[in-house]
Amino acid sequence: MNKTNPSVDGYLRKNKKWSAELAKLRAIVLDTPLIEEVKWRVPCYTDHGRNIAFLGAFKDCCTLSFVKGVLLKDPKHILELPGPDTQSARVIRFDHLDRIVKLAPVLKAYLLEAIEIEKSGQKVQMKKTADFAVPEELQAKLDENPALKKAFAALTPGRQRGYLLYFAGAKQSKTRSARVDKHTPRILEGKGMLDD
């Protein structure tokens, strides 16, 4: 049975710099029971409709990402945080085909473990929105504008976290204030940062 998805072929052709590396990663993943799909315009590998892993291509590397990577044992210590605020996902970065070839049995073992973690129903304990600090610039605006406070409270937890992380990500108070001011109309409309 051919398990390849033609849309992934296009993704590989488009990412010429990492085409050999991505092709090798794809072959390793497809040597497992995972199903190849495309989600969010990147190759996604699923088991019974649940996302397990993704392939990605960036300027300086290509990646194999695990959705619940934080639950993997990682005996080879090759998993990394994709970003400072990531709670669940873990990623392995590659900048050379030889490393992928060398790690092929390990990668397959990690993929099989990720499938078993998903089948077992294990959940990642995610931080709740209340666990995130509210930047003082946002808190001041919420305190002075009851409509904004009500609108922010009505946002989904994910939208609230998105704003909290974005506002807090600025180093200077002036920048945090500017971000809050810029996004106040969106919050009042009930929209998240990425909503149209």
Ordered per-residue pLDDT tens for the chain, 196 residues: 457 898 999 898 899 999 999 999 999 999 999 999 999 899 999 999 999 999 999 999 999 999 999 999 999 999 999 987 788 999 999 999 999 999 999 999 999 999 999 999 999 988 888 888 899 999 999 999 999 999 999 999 889 989 998 999 899 999 999 999 999 999 999 999 878 7
Asked whether 183 and 193 are in contact (CB, 8 A), the reply is: yes
Q: Which residues lie across from 65 on neighbouring strands?
A: 54, 91
Report residue 21: phi and psi, to 5°: -65, -45
Give the span between the Cα atoms of 91 and 118, in whole angstroms: 17
Residue 77, both tokens: 């210590």
Cβ atoms of 28 and 45 closer than 8 Å: no
Rounded to two decimals, what is the model's pTM?
Answer: 0.77
Q: Cα dihedral sign for 93, 97, 102, 104?
A: positive
Residue 68: count of CB within 10 angstroms of its CB: 20
Contacts of 152 (CB under 8 A, 6+ apart): 142, 160, 163, 187
Residue 170: strand pairing partners? none
50 phi and psi angles, rounded to 5 deg: -105, 135
pLDDT score for 2: 55
Q: Residue 83 has what pLDDT?
A: 84
pLDDT of residue 74: 97
